[in-house]
Structure 1
Amino acid sequence: MITRFEELDWQPTPIGDLMLRRRTEPAVGQEIYEVKLGDEYLMSSLFTVAEEELAHLGLAAVEGDELSVLVGGLGLGYTAVAALRDERVRALTVIDRLGAVIGWHERMLLPVSTELVSDARTTLVEDDFFAVMRAAPAKGQSGYSAILLDVDHSPRHQLDPTHADLYDAAGLRALDRHLALRGVFALWSDDPPDDDFMVEMNAVFDESAAHVVDFDNPVTGGVSSNTIYVGRSRG
């Protein structure tokens, strides 16, 4: 069976050439969407369970209603849409460094784009999430109920080396300033739970945990897994 690829968009970016493509996956007999950055595969619509669990596990740890949520990394949009499906969410801001990715959704190129963009609670922002976290919150700005992050492969394997400082205790404390009292930080990782990173999490957050998310992999015929880290702010 010949696998056909359709390039939906290609753009140069400061961190490599970015491509969105659609193809038929023989293992499942359906169309899937994939994102590549340079020679790296970033994401696929064939595997969305852990991206959705990032929202589910993160928001499950948040107390109360009328939630304000920040998502770092838009990608194919599955984390953001999973957050919107929580009826407690009143406002969702998504920050992505690459304007091209925001443009894909504004052009309705992806399966969840319409649900994401048409929701009045959604705000899409082109910015560097990591720079935003390093900076102090604007005066008078209320903290987020939850910050959900899915940009790098893992705390040890970053797409851009300038991201590394977020993943130690000092960087996590800077991020914590953007959380509301008892707010929650949740992070997706492609690697197994990292004991050293948990030390950094525990230095900053209460009730930190690493959740292993298993999902069927139709390409290998086996089970794959990702990790979701969750920590609640001490306030």
Structure 2
Amino acid sequence: MGARFEELAWRETPIGAISLRRRRDPALDAEVYEVKLDDEYLMSSAFPVAEIELARLGLAPLSGEALDVVVGGLGLGYTARTALEDPRVRSMLVVEAIEDVIDWHRLDLLPFAAGLAADPRTRFVRADFFAAVADAGLDPDEPGRRFHAVLLDVDHSPRQVLHPSHAPFYTTEGLRRLAALLHPEGVFALWSNDPPDPAFQRTLTEVFPTSVAHVVRFPNPLQGREAANTVYVARR
């Protein structure tokens, strides 16, 4: 058994101090990895169910082979790692704003995401996902490039954004820019910590012919109750 608490990485960034911590949780009898932005928790390895389902639910509607996928927001790597488990994925572009987060994976600091950086299908792009969508596109080497799926997990929810500059993305205009980067019948999938938001669902339907809000439930033994996140899946 290692130390009860260890800070594996820390760096000041334009949006705050981001840190990666590992601690022993006696209630779970497991090592837990956590990402914090200043004093705010962004992600924990204790409850990765919805991040995993973001990839599974986002890729499930797609047919055919040789899929090109974007993961917006790398975090602990659960969504990206799960996407690579789908043999149909030909390439995966991971768009992450903070270089340090990418380095966590290059340095194999996260055992459950082992192999993510080394997989030849993976390509990291250090960029602001939202600024890229509003500008030339998600692939800096190929402006306007289209993808079969975009899986996004950056903000807490469309209403609880980490930075005010993200908010325009969740409007009709912002989602139309994203839709233009998808192949016909391509999928946009979004993780949210909040219950399904009827107003945001209406915005999705203004841009995408079909959209579904999946409620992903999982046990939370620390609180002695069931918890839930939302995964929105919209198809062009």
Question: How would you bin the TM-score normalised by the shorter chain?
Answer: over 0.9
Q: Please say if residues 106 and 113 of structure 1, whose CA atoms lie closer than 8 Å, have aligned partners that are also in contact.
A: no
Q: Please say if residues 73 and 149 of structure 1, whose CA atoms lie closer than 8 Å, have aligned partners that are also in contact.
A: yes
Q: CA deviation at 1:221?
A: 1.8
Q: CA deviation at 1:142?
A: 4.0
| Matched residue type, 2:89 | V
Map residues 16-165 of structure 1 onto 2, 5 A cutoff.
16-137=16-137, 141-165=144-168
The ranges of structure 1 where at least 4 consecutive aligned residues each deviate by more than 3 angstroms after the TM superposition are 136-142
- Alpha-carbon distance between aligned partners in 1 of 2:38 and 2:94, rounded to the nearest angstrom: 23
Name the SS of the counterpart of 2:206 in structure 1.
helix
Q: Please say if residues 151 and 188 of structure 2, whose CA atoms lie closer than 8 Å, have aligned partners that are also in contact.
A: yes
The one of 178, 182, 205 aligned to 2:181: 178
Q: CA deviation at 1:26?
A: 1.4
The one of 206, 213, 231 aligned to 1:228: 231
Structure 2: gaps spanning 5 or more residues: none
Q: Please say if residues 136 and 144 of structure 2, whose CA atoms lie closer than 8 Å, have aligned partners that are also in contact.
A: no
- Alpha-carbon distance between aligned partners in 2 of 1:116 and 1:33, rounded to the nearest angstrom: 17
- Alpha-carbon distance between aligned partners in 1 of 2:223 and 2:78, rounded to the nearest angstrom: 22
Deviations 1:36-69 (A, max 9, x none): 0011000000011000000000000112111000
- Alpha-carbon distance between aligned partners in 2 of 1:22 and 1:226, rounded to the nearest angstrom: 23
1:140–1:30 Cα change, 3 Å: closer
Q: Please say if residues 213 and 225 of structure 1, whose CA atoms lie closer than 8 Å, have aligned partners that are also in contact.
A: yes
- Alpha-carbon distance between aligned partners in 2 of 1:128 and 1:140, rounded to the nearest angstrom: 15
What's the C-alpha RMSD, in Å, of the aligned pairs? 1.3
Q: Please say if residues 216 and 224 of structure 1, whose CA atoms lie closer than 8 Å, have aligned partners that are also in contact.
A: yes
Name the SS of the counterpart of 1:117 in structure 2.
coil
- Alpha-carbon distance between aligned partners in 2 of 1:97 and 1:218, rounded to the nearest angstrom: 32
- Alpha-carbon distance between aligned partners in 1 of 2:40 and 2:165, rounded to the nearest angstrom: 18
- Alpha-carbon distance between aligned partners in 2 of 1:112 and 1:134, rounded to the nearest angstrom: 33
- Alpha-carbon distance between aligned partners in 2 of 1:114 and 1:90, rounded to the nearest angstrom: 19
Q: Could you say which residue in structure 2 is the equivalent of 1:187?
A: 190
| Matched residue type, 1:15 | I
Between the aligned residues of both structures, percent identity stands at: 54
Deviations 1:136-167 (A, max 9, x none): 44777541000000000000000011000010
- Does 2:172 align with 1:169? yes
- Alpha-carbon distance between aligned partners in 2 of 1:88 and 1:167, rounded to the nearest angstrom: 29
Name the SS of the counterpart of 1:197 in structure 2.
helix
Structure 1: gaps spanning 5 or more residues: none
Q: What TM-score do the two structures reach when normalised by structure 1?
A: 0.95
Q: What TM-score do the two structures reach when normalised by structure 2?
A: 0.95
1:140–1:153 Cα change, 3 Å: closer
Name the SS of the counterpart of 2:114 in structure 1.
helix
- Alpha-carbon distance between aligned partners in 1 of 2:136 and 2:93, rounded to the nearest angstrom: 17
- Alpha-carbon distance between aligned partners in 1 of 2:56 and 2:93, rounded to the nearest angstrom: 16
